[in-house]
Amino acid sequence: TIYFPHSGYKEKDIDSFNNDVSTFLSNILSQKNTTHIIGADTNSSIGTRISSSKYDIPSKDEDDDDPIVNLLGPFGNPRKSKTAEAILNHMREFQLRAASSFVDNNYKI
């Protein structure tokens, strides 16, 4: 489980934390024949597939598409906080998915 610093931390502290997370993920995700489930309180709004594709991808060429559209689902808060890009970069680098963004939490049985 990873608990990310909130946006009230100094930028250098957040950058240092993100470098540590990247090193940690590189080490554990390099292990072969294993399944990894990582829980994280990112203290960040990272958007959704729809909000990312609408605002972040300038090109219509499929080869240039940002991989984040496959790593984020269609549900959740479409807003992005100032720390979102660092989280999204970790997701891109390590092909991590935001599991909760693939579930419609507004659907009641």
The whole model's pTM is what?
0.75
Contacts of 20 (CB under 8 A, 6+ apart): none
- Tokens representing residue 30 in the block: 């390099």
pLDDT tens for residues 74-97?
999 999 998 899 999 999 999 999
Query: Which pLDDT score, from 0 to 100, does residue 57 have?
Result: 46
Q: How confident is the model at residue 71 (pLDDT cuts 50, 70, 90)?
A: very high
Query: Residue 44 and residue 82: Cα distance in Å, rounded?
Result: 8
Query: Which pLDDT score, from 0 to 100, does residue 46 have?
Result: 93
For the chain, list the strands marked E by DSSP: 2-3, 40-41
- Does the pLDDT value for residue 16 go beyond 90? yes
Query: Which pLDDT score, from 0 to 100, does residue 59 have?
Result: 47
